[in-house]
Structure 1
């Protein structure tokens, strides 16, 4: 990477990480802390307040992506982070669950993921794009693991309101980083030559990658409906689950650096994509086998689950790096933000579908039925991804 590419990668990964750290810090304690607010005795309202973020995020990813194509990436990122910060401070000052719901909805309205990834694509060459995207993906995994460790302790000292205030502060730090740390946008980024919106729906590989991110995050959230219970069943108390999550996330970064980047340099990014999807499917098959083993699986202890989660995070982190990299190359340059807006919308919808359908599947079919469904979805995704073609050299300029 050139110095400008390194600066762009680390600054934009930091902005992504600061924003998501604030979100992740709230998630482990939200359901418990929300009960203390008026209206917190209604589980449906608590669930709505927790999940409404994903809904507004999904609705606004595409508009923010289009706006970044037309008005500039950094301007849209700053506006989105300010909206996110406003939602955080509203939630921090809320005295009822309705106030929390409004704050969470406004947080989701700051949907800057597409603009951030589009700017990163603008500022990096194709040959290092996946590495740059991996830094963003890595920031997500690390912030998730850090939040699992820090959230209970922080909540005990500053409460849910304090966590939301901290989230708003982190977003404002992100605004400062966008203004003064992120490199200037290339003049051609919001180019004068406009592509057609319909072009995004005529490119089969973009459709395949959009399905891929939907499947990835559906499987991710659905499996986490049952994985914590399996860890408890294996003898690991819930307050120690991070003992498994954190080493798995960190080790997966090492594996990704040793395998994915050399494969990309050798021109085998498509094969790496297929292999990563295969790892997701392999994880679901392993979890299904453990669920079918029932009480016998509990006697094996935590080791099989830890190994499966390592395999999952290896595939997950590789896909979080390679898929948006491929989207940025396959989309016309003048529609890059729009294409990533569609991609991130499908990501948000996948999170929503995985959580909702995962809960229904466990309730109706148990963990065995859940992992059978996630395995079938992963295999369908593997079949769809098989047709992805290598991107043209230098991406699509028009």
Structure 2
């Protein structure tokens, strides 16, 4: 498709708002295992609390994306962040009450399900509209780099969120949650005053909606599903792995999980900054990134010390840092301007499916043996690398006719 006609996008406000929300999302993941053990929840219940956010992310990403095609990117992003902040504050207050009263397993489980579900429902708006905003204002040849910049902002959130949570956890498990809710409010202010408005190419009323199974999107959607599923497996297992493999206390395991996710963020920043310089096409980024990430997963399953676990997470994130902007750019390059919001929502929905299946699969596989989830993640990534590597380049999703 042709280059977008909208003025070039100033990425800084989008980067700051996205990084703040990602900090909040991943700070909670780092605290999940200690919270679950304190509330006497099983591993599968902790996994389900993450899964419900993925379910609602999956269900609502495409509707949010379609809404941004008609309503405007900025308005959808601001609405999503506002709901995200409100849901996070409510969850923090609910967990605070639960830790004081210990109301029982069922009440604690339902609290986490409701809170994380609301967070996922509103968060679904942010990546869908943000990637569509980038596609609106960025030429085809620069989209992977621009989306890598947005991905680097997510990585900054991965670095700072778990680190801040680990630092604040000394004041109690609930203090980091209140801090992250406040950070989401800051993100909302940045979005309202920093993002451009009126940038959505309105979809024609008679336009045929992009289907989830659209042949143009087959490869990026499958890659998004596998990539996010693998990441979710690694996230949900890290705290339990640290406690069970080395007998660490809940607080110490929370810190190890935080350090591992911090290493992930550092590696993602390095990888996605590298994407801007390498200028490899999306299918090359996916193939090479999946191989690197696969090696990190294999090492993670057989570590002998916490520092080795942290190092393996760094390696897997280096590979993922190549994969994530590539499947987003591949999808954006395949469609016309008026389809960008729906397509960004479609890719985001695929990631949501990964967030649904990953935690459930990870916790179930963890019950077999601690190494099993990591081996399965490695096999999934190897399959993606083989598929993309053996596909002819023209078989990858191609730009649609702008006049269609």
TM-score (norm 2): 0.79
- Counterpart for residue 188 of structure 2: 175
Q: Pick the aligned partner of 1:13 from 12, 15, 19.
A: 15
Q: What do residues 332-376 of structure 1 show as CA deviations (whole Å, max 9, x unaligned)?
A: 321211111121111122122122112222222x24443442232
- Counterpart for residue 278 of structure 2: 263
Q: Pick the aligned partner of 2:373 from 367, 370, 377.
A: 370
Q: 1:158 to 1:41 in 2, by over 3 A?
A: closer
Q: Pick the aligned partner of 1:216 from 227, 230, 251.
A: 227
Q: Pick the aligned partner of 2:208 from 196, 216, 219.
A: 196
Give runs of aligned pairs for residues 307-386 of structure 1, distance below 5 A.
308-364=312-368, 366-386=369-389
State the distance in 2 between where 1:42 and 1:5 align: 49
State the distance in 1 between where 2:299 and 2:172 align: 40
Q: Pick the aligned partner of 2:161 from 140, 147, 168.
A: 147
- Counterpart for residue 124 of structure 1: 138
Note the C-alpha offset of 1:316.
0.6
Q: Secondary structure at the match of 1:197?
A: coil
- Counterpart for residue 69 of structure 2: 69
| C-alpha contact 1:208 1:384 (8 A) present in aligned 2 | no
Note the C-alpha offset of 1:270.
2.5
Q: Pick the aligned partner of 1:28 from 21, 27, 30.
A: 30
- Counterpart for residue 280 of structure 1: 293
Note the C-alpha offset of 1:181.
0.7
- Counterpart for residue 250 of structure 1: 266
| C-alpha contact 2:256 2:306 (8 A) present in aligned 1 | no
| Uncovered stretches (5+) of structure 1, i.e. residues with no partner | 292-296
- Counterpart for residue 294 of structure 1: none
| C-alpha contact 1:330 1:395 (8 A) present in aligned 2 | no
- Counterpart for residue 119 of structure 2: 107
Q: 1:232 to 1:10 in 2, by over 3 A?
A: farther
Q: 1:63 to 1:361 in 2, by over 3 A?
A: same
Q: 1:231 to 1:329 in 2, by over 3 A?
A: farther
Q: 1:122 to 1:306 in 2, by over 3 A?
A: same
| Uncovered stretches (5+) of structure 2, i.e. residues with no partner | 1-6, 99-107
Note the C-alpha offset of 1:64.
0.8
- Counterpart for residue 81 of structure 1: 81
| C-alpha contact 1:330 1:396 (8 A) present in aligned 2 | no
State the distance in 1 between where 2:40 and 2:313 align: 34
Give the paired residue count.
376
Note the C-alpha offset of 1:214.
1.0
Note the C-alpha offset of 1:249.
3.7
Q: 1:305 to 1:87 in 2, by over 3 A?
A: closer
- Counterpart for residue 56 of structure 2: 56
Q: 1:193 to 1:145 in 2, by over 3 A?
A: same
Q: 1:89 to 1:368 in 2, by over 3 A?
A: closer
Q: 1:106 to 1:17 in 2, by over 3 A?
A: same
Note the C-alpha offset of 1:5.
4.2
